[in-house]
Structure 1
Amino acid sequence: MERLPSWLRLHLAAIRAVAVLTVLLGLIYPLVTTGVAQALFNGNANGSIVQAGGKEVGSALIGQSFTDADGNPVRKYFQSRPSAAGAGYDPLSTSAGNLGPEDVVDTLPVPGAKDEKGNPDAGKQSLLTQVCARSKAVGELEGVSGARPYCTPDGVGAVLKVFPDRAVSVNQACPAAPFVATYQGLKVECGKPGEDYAAGRTVPVRGDAGTPAVPADAVTASGSGLDPHISVAYAELQAPRVARERGLAVERVRALIDEHTTGRAVGFMGEPGVNVLELNLALDRS
């Protein structure tokens, strides 16, 4: 029998290799690994679903909000950290916010203006103002000071745009009173929506707030926007409110916090965290 040309033999060998690897890696390997995972790690393999009263109420791996229909915190529950994933904790919208420490100047909404979709202009909050607003809201909820450095008392970034003849509190829309009256001899004005202040020198003002009472994870979103944990410090801050709303002793609530606190990964990586969903379910059972 006449031998096939070498180029044809090479192509046939390649086709056979593709077929064998497709069966091995595309069919057999996934079936084996799926079977092992289902047999040995069934709960983890299926998303670490948490059940309560025979119903699926969430996942131990993905956070969720504990708010009412209007987005207000339900006071008898521990609150999760903020989420920047879609409308909140949406696994399909997890991504970086691309906001950094230099994002301190807001785009003020222009009254009467509309965005490209025809909705009223909402402006755009800087990362600093988002942190300030969250800190103020958490402080009011927990009955502590929400003040923090570089934030105004009304919960926006304390930032000036400084020009040779004036200074502008760019995150405080007129007619708001600026958080400082003067800066280096210049009168401070409120910000006028729609005015371009790009030419001014950006000056964040630290103020005298001192160490914040509201922990950092209460005012910043995680990198994924899906973090199911809060810090022990944030849980401790919320304990008196939750205990009061439920008629429980604070010591009982703190004991539940301890029971649902996970340690550092591998003993030294990261910080201890409290799983909010599991803690709230434990409260409902208590």
Structure 2
Amino acid sequence: MNLLSRMPSWVGHHVAAIRVVVVLTVVLGLLYPLGMTALAQVPGLREHAHGSRLTAGGSALIGQSFLDKKGAPIPYYFQPRPSDAGTGYDASASAAGNLGPESTVDVLPVLGHPDSGKQSLLTQVCARSKAVGELEHVDGSRPYCTADGVGAVLGVFRDGGTTGKATRVVSLDQACPEKPFRSTYGGITVECATPGADYSKAVVTPVRGDAPAHPKVPADAVTASASGLDPQISPAYAALQTPRVARERGMTEAAVRKLVDRCTSGRGLGVLGAPAVNVVELNAALDHLRPVSAEGA
């Protein structure tokens, strides 16, 4: 008769449990991590296992902001898409904006309290498109955006609630004393919006305007990725920035396009996703080929 058979049943259960813990600790806590670490050193996997580090700093897998100390785009760098991760591309705060197509009305800041306001997704897109257009010297206008870069959204008060004749019209995203983007609507003079006022009974009415159906500024230039960390932009956005970067670095556009092509990945398995340009790799390649001083090209 062995020792375990002479022990009380509850002791035998504890011994068996301890054995399971020891075995699982060795297998999952030691052998498995060591095996995965060894597998990660296989050629083709080693780069990803080490985070695709760049000699210039950072990782090719995580985007970076290429801004100066004042938060303005550095003109001799390709700019990434916007980021909602922390203050921008913060790997410890990966996040999306969580705003959808119904987000069109701003919470206007109260005078003296600029942090009390909150921009809608529409105004964020409009402001970014206007800024990119000015940086790249192209038309940054978009449908449903005002010329000053906010949502072209009217609050229409009607005598029947949601239907009937318009009795009052407010430009919801343009705080007073801003001049409304339209002077009249339905025969009613359009008012600027008063921060803190209650416009909840107004019918929210976006106005398309006369912007082109296909804006010069691509969609990825004005919207953030789901993670807020993606380092890629579309080839269209890279093409829009190429003349500026070439000019600022004293390079030909053909030479810059060659680097863009080198940093462009195709569709996954040939059919998934869309071609994309890795901005971090591209800017690192530009610095290696044609360095510029901190003061400019």
Size of the aligned set, in residue pairs, is 276
Residues 1:257 and 2:246 are matched in the alignment:
no
Instruction: Tell me if the contact between 1:112 and 1:121 (Cα under 8 Å) persists in the aligned partners.
Output: no
- The Cα shift of 1:18 comes to 2.0
- The Cα shift of 1:122 comes to 4.5
Could you tell me which residue of structure 2 aligns to residue 137 of structure 1? 131
Residues 1:50 and 2:54 are matched in the alignment:
yes
**Partner Cα distance (1:242, 1:95) in 2:** 29
Could you tell me which residue of structure 1 aligns to residue 273 of structure 2? 270
**Partner Cα distance (1:121, 1:251) in 2:** 45
Deviation string 1:3-22 (CA, Å, 9 cap, x unpaired) is 33444433432231122112
- The Cα shift of 1:149 comes to 0.7
- The Cα shift of 1:87 comes to 0.6
Q: Give structure 1 stretches of 5+ with no counterpart.
A: 114-119
Could you tell me which residue of structure 1 aligns to residue 64 of structure 2? 64
The structure 1 residue matched to 2:207, chosen from 196, 205, 208, is: 205
Residues 1:230 and 2:224 are matched in the alignment:
no
The structure 2 residue matched to 1:152, chosen from 146, 155, 163, is: 146
- Matched to 2:261, the amino acid is D
**Partner Cα distance (1:155, 1:204) in 2:** 14
**Partner Cα distance (1:82, 1:15) in 2:** 52
Instruction: Tell me if the contact between 2:217 and 2:237 (Cα under 8 Å) persists in the aligned partners.
Output: yes
Could you tell me which residue of structure 1 aligns to residue 219 of structure 2? 216
Instruction: Tell me if the contact between 1:111 and 1:121 (Cα under 8 Å) persists in the aligned partners.
Output: no
- For normalisation by structure 1, the TM-score amounts to 0.92
Q: What is the root-mean-square deviation of aligned Cα atoms in Å?
A: 1.5
**Partner Cα distance (1:181, 1:225) in 2:** 38
- The Cα shift of 1:42 comes to 3.2
Residues 1:9 and 2:12 are matched in the alignment:
yes
- The Cα shift of 1:106 comes to 0.4
With 96-105 and 134-143 compared, the bigger mean Cα shift is at 96-105
Partner of 1:59: helix, strand, or coil? Answer: coil
**Partner Cα distance (1:199, 1:5) in 2:** 75
- The Cα shift of 1:46 comes to 1.6
- For normalisation by structure 2, the TM-score amounts to 0.89
Could you tell me which residue of structure 1 aligns to residue 24 of structure 2? 21
Could you tell me which residue of structure 1 aligns to residue 101 of structure 2? 101
Q: Give structure 2 stretches of 5+ with no counterpart.
A: 159-166, 291-297
Could you tell me which residue of structure 2 aligns to residue 87 of structure 1? 87
- Matched to 1:201, the amino acid is V
Could you tell me which residue of structure 2 aligns to residue 78 of structure 1? 78
Partner of 2:55: helix, strand, or coil? Answer: strand
- Matched to 1:238, the amino acid is Q
- The Cα shift of 1:63 comes to 0.5
- Matched to 2:218, the amino acid is P
With 188-197 and 41-50 compared, the bigger mean Cα shift is at 41-50
Residues 1:125 and 2:129 are matched in the alignment:
no
With 204-213 and 134-143 compared, the bigger mean Cα shift is at 204-213
Residues 1:176 and 2:170 are matched in the alignment:
no
Residues 1:242 and 2:245 are matched in the alignment:
yes
Instruction: Tell me if the contact between 1:156 and 1:172 (Cα under 8 Å) persists in the aligned partners.
Output: yes
Partner of 1:121: helix, strand, or coil? Answer: helix
- Matched to 2:63, the amino acid is G
- Change in CA separation of 1:260 and 1:121 when aligned onto 2, cut-off 3 Å: closer
